[in-house]
Structure 1
């Protein structure tokens, strides 16, 4: 099924379950939440690379201002 794709784009947005996923400390500040999200997206990228080596992942974190910061 995934053989027809060469890239996967993922952008985490500001309205999500970050507090549930990362805990209170993980969302206490913007920097803390960005670090937690970046780590999660990097883990996702690594899993995709392990499972589907030919599929590249473009990842980013979207802020409340709708600007996507690449990870």
Structure 2
């Protein structure tokens, strides 16, 4: 999973700038930028703060977006 791309997509869906998101989670714009470009990995605490700023949580963020597939043998 590309965490950075998903964070960027969620941020853009909320019409937030990197500055606005950084302010919401008390992180720097540079850190948000690096996370979105997958240049650095956030700690669980920072990821939780970012997701809270985006109006979601860890469980929903990591849940599979794909359709459920049922296989019969």
The TM-score, its normalising length taken from structure 1, stands at 0.27
Structure of higher RCO (CA pairs closer than 8 Å, 6+ residues apart): 1
The TM-score, its normalising length taken from structure 2, stands at 0.27
Structure with a larger share of its residues in strand:
1
